[in-house]
Amino acid sequence: SNRKKGFVSFISGVSMVGLILAVMSLITVLSVMNGFHEELTNRVLNAISHSYITENDNTLENWEELSEEINSQDRILASSPYVENFALITSKNASQGVSVRGIIMDLEVKTSVLLDDIKYGEIKLTEDASSVLIGVGLATILSTGIGDSVTLIAPSRNSIGLLMPKSQTFTVTGIFNAGLNEYNNNLAFIHLNDAQELFSLDDQVSGIRLKVDNLFEANKITNNVVEKLGSDLYYGVDWMQQKRNFIRALNLEKQMIAVVLSLIIAVAAFNIVSMMVMVVTDKKSDIAILRTIGMTPKRIVKIFFYQGLSIGLIGIVVGTLLGLLLALNIESVISGIETILGFQFFPKDVFYINRFPSVIQLNDV
């Protein structure tokens, strides 16, 4: 009998610990995922503008007058013209297809922080200097450093309409780190005038990038600007439209992880139910005594129900508190584990996010 009671108590304890661990895991994992999502989103937003405006044929004429009109609109903090197209970049050692972005540096830095992290060289793109800024990944692919020459080759049509390659030589003056391989490996910056010449655009630009006063109202603000400029001539695209698939993938990933962890909690809850069945079986003689002294079946059921409920509530509360505590200190915990085991989960030379960011959201608790 004592052995049976000890076994039931052990099962009860295991069920509670299982629920605690399941709830703690759910909160910690979702918080870390929130942190990674926020970090990735910030890095993506560093590389793109809040929104951009262009004409229906994806080119803009008279962009200087249009920029002045855009800057006079409410809730627009800054704007910058840009030219963007694809080209082949070649060095003495290799070649790579890249997206070439022509910018005016003084205006670009007001709408984007992509070039804030210059690893080598300097942020310098002056008119007629034929200078280029490339990402750290692209510099590695091309085996190129500061002061080296590279050639950009772009398709162009001649006077009779035949497609001919057009090339221009540039000097690498800066190497940046965007924090994402997508941009470090495939993006090059040159001066707006150089881009217009390379892509035979005369005085046209691809569009005007905007910085607005509220990131999450970028779509509304951009649409208001487009309506004032003339929605029959222009259209705007905000950052959520530019990266729709990326945002959708992040949300889907979080939902799938939440479902998996919720199933673990369901298993832990089922363990509590199984444990209560064992308790009822073990207490048959006690239940019979209670029935003989007049206790109704409903009251007896309530006793066991409240016992199971109390175990569940204690497991949830303790699991939540431990989950919050772990989520708030996850970087210190991981750092300690790395020190003890002697290896890094995210080596700096492999991953650009080499830490465990954590963001607790109330709807995840």
With contact defined as beta carbons under 8 Å apart, do 80 and 209 qualify? yes
Is residue 184 over pLDDT 70?
yes
28-49 residue pLDDT tens = 888 888 888 887 777 777 778 8
Give backbone dihedrals phi and psi of 344, rounded to 5 degrees, phi first.
-105, 135
| pLDDT given for residue 349 in this prediction | 56
User: What confidence tier does 3 reach under pLDDT thresholds 50, 70, 90?
Assistant: low
| pLDDT given for residue 6 in this prediction | 67
| pLDDT given for residue 25 in this prediction | 86
User: What confidence tier does 8 reach under pLDDT thresholds 50, 70, 90?
Assistant: low
In sequence order, the 6+-apart residues with CB closer than 8 A to the CB of 306 are none
| pLDDT given for residue 353 in this prediction | 64
With contact defined as beta carbons under 8 Å apart, do 281 and 11 qualify? no
Is residue 26 over pLDDT 70?
yes
With contact defined as beta carbons under 8 Å apart, do 315 and 16 qualify? yes
With contact defined as beta carbons under 8 Å apart, do 148 and 91 qualify? yes
141-154 residue pLDDT tens = 999 999 999 999 99
| pLDDT given for residue 352 in this prediction | 57
Give the residues across from 229 on adjacent strands.
none
Q: What token pair was written down for 202?
A: 């005369």
303 against 102, higher pLDDT: 102
Give the residues across from 197 on adjacent strands.
none
3-class SS of residue 307: helix
Question: What are the residue ranges spanned by the domains of the chain?
Answer: 2-43+246-364, 50-242
| pLDDT given for residue 160 in this prediction | 65
| pLDDT given for residue 120 in this prediction | 80
* Residue 357: CA count within 13 A, CB half-sphere: 14
64-99 residue pLDDT tens = 899 999 999 889 999 999 999 999 999 998 999 999
In sequence order, the 6+-apart residues with CB closer than 8 A to the CB of 163 are 155, 156, 157
